[in-house]
Amino acid sequence: MSETWPIAIRDGWHPLAALDELHGKPIGRRLLGTPIVLFRSEGKPVAMLDRCPHRALKLSDGRVRADTIACPYHGWRFGADGRCVEVPGSDAVPAVAVRVLPIEVRGGLIWACLAETPPPFPRLPTLLDDPTLDHFQWLVAPSQMRLLDAIENMLDASHPHYVHPWFLRGTKKRKAMRVELSLGPDGAEAIYHENARADGIMPRLLEGERTVSIGRYFPPTIGQLEFRTARGLSVSLTAIFAPEDNDLVRPYALFSTRKGIAPAWLKRWVLKAFNLPLLRQDQRVLADQVEALKDWGAVDFAIGPADLIGPTVWRLANSKPQAVEQRVTTLYL
């Protein structure tokens, strides 16, 4: 396991899988470099360390039998409390157990925590609970990126011109935009007053007249983008960044849209189709960042005038204080 995780990340709650991913077979995942197995016992998800106490085989390569998980090597079975309940071929059962992790199911995701004493569950964006919206998940594979830099990337308004040219914003003529920035110990919010027909390909096709776009950070690992027209929310994207390993992050993306614009299946399809190239472009630049940093080790980053939320991500994820601060600035986007 990495020695370098900030405590809020190391001891924090992170998603391991979507509830809908977990059926009759166990799932093997990683959390902060630790292999974890997920399975269902009496219908409920269970998460435990993915190591058989007998000879260290991966329990996730085994099978679920009668609400227990059976190791693929000699068949020892373990119950939802982690205790061994059967050694095939013997009446004796050794007093050994696999460590079970505390879990919570929120927002359709199974969250777990590696800390002995779990901290309070992180604040989730309220949009996720709004029954007037259509919600759906976008599950993507983990890729090479640094956790906090990935969160910053999602909330950074100054890279799309370069990394996603024409997708999100036109690149020829930038527009002056008033940005209201609020920072504080609970997170960060940047409200971009667009008040114009967005000129990127995606917003043109999907939204029309965009009034504001909002980026929010919920510590330690959640980012949210919200796009509004005069009629209200058009779409929001909440991403929870799960640290699987050093420089390996699995984002769990949750879209929320206003009901009734189009059938939910169509919105789901369109949003995934449009966002896939953006995801690939961001994955590429974040992997390039990891590679570039291999030559330099730990370096301090310069903070630029358009780096509105990134510094707050680093502060709060590292349990450093973030003073309450509100300011209005102009960016040309």
Residue ranges in contact with ligand FES by CB under 6 A = 52, 54-55, 57, 71, 73-76
Q: Is residue 76 packed enough to be buried (19+ CB in 10 Å), middle (13-18) or exposed (0-12)? A: buried
In this complex, which beta carbon is closest to ligand FES, that of residue 87 or of residue 270? 87
Minimum CB distance to ligand FES, residue 93 (Å): 12
Give the end-to-end CA distance of the chain in Å, rounded to a whole number: 41
> 72: which DSSP letter?
T
**Which SS3 state, helix, strand or coil, does residue 126 take?**
helix
Q: Which two tokens stand for residue 160?
A: 């799309």
**Tokens 């999907």 label which residue?**
206
Site stretch for Fe ion (CB under 5 A), options 50-58, 103-111, 269-277, 281-289: 281-289
Q: Which does 282 bind (CB under 5 to 8 A by kind): Fe ion, ligand FES, none?
A: Fe ion
Q: Which two tokens stand for residue 26?
A: 């166990």
In this complex, which beta carbon is closest to ligand FES, that of residue 39 or of residue 76? 76
In this complex, which beta carbon is closest to ligand FES, that of residue 87 or of residue 331? 87
List the one residue from 77, 282, 309, 333 that touches Fe ion (CB under 5 A). 282
Q: Which two tokens stand for residue 31?
A: 């959390």
Minimum CB distance to Fe ion, residue 205 (Å): 18
Site stretch for Fe ion (CB under 5 A), options 40-48, 107-115, 221-229, 278-286: 278-286
Q: Please check whether residue 68 is in contact with residue 77, taking contact to mean a CB–CB distance below 8 angstroms.
A: yes
Site stretch for Fe ion (CB under 5 A), options 112-120, 220-228, 279-287, 316-324: 279-287
Minimum CB distance to ligand FES, residue 215 (Å): 47
Minimum CB distance to Fe ion, residue 178 (Å): 22
In this complex, which beta carbon is closest to ligand FES, that of residue 73 or of residue 274? 73
Minimum CB distance to Fe ion, residue 53 (Å): 44
In this complex, which beta carbon is closest to ligand FES, that of residue 60 or of residue 229? 60
Rounded CA-CA distance 76/67 in Å is 13
Q: Please check whether residue 157 is in contact with residue 308, taking contact to mean a CB–CB distance below 8 angstroms.
A: yes
In this complex, which beta carbon is closest to ligand FES, that of residue 94 or of residue 208? 94
Which of 245, 50, 277 is CA-nearest to residue 168? 277
In this complex, which beta carbon is closest to ligand FES, that of residue 46 or of residue 71? 71
Minimum CB distance to ligand FES, residue 72 (Å): 7
**Which SS3 state, helix, strand or coil, does residue 17 take?**
strand
Q: Which does 54 bind (CB under 5 to 8 A by kind): ligand FES, Fe ion, none?
A: ligand FES
Amino acid, res. 75: G
Rounded CA-CA distance 194/213 in Å is 7
Minimum CB distance to ligand FES, residue 50 (Å): 11
In this complex, which beta carbon is closest to Fe ion, that of residue 226 or of residue 282? 282
Rounded CA-CA distance 239/6 in Å is 20
CA torsion 50→53→57→62, rounded to 10°?
-70
Site stretch for Fe ion (CB under 5 A), options 10-18, 139-147, 171-179, 276-284: 276-284
Give CA angle at 293 (147, 275), nearest 5°.
Answer: 45
Rounded CA-CA distance 227/101 in Å is 37
Minimum CB distance to ligand FES, residue 73 (Å): 4
Binding site for Fe ion (CB under 5 A): 282
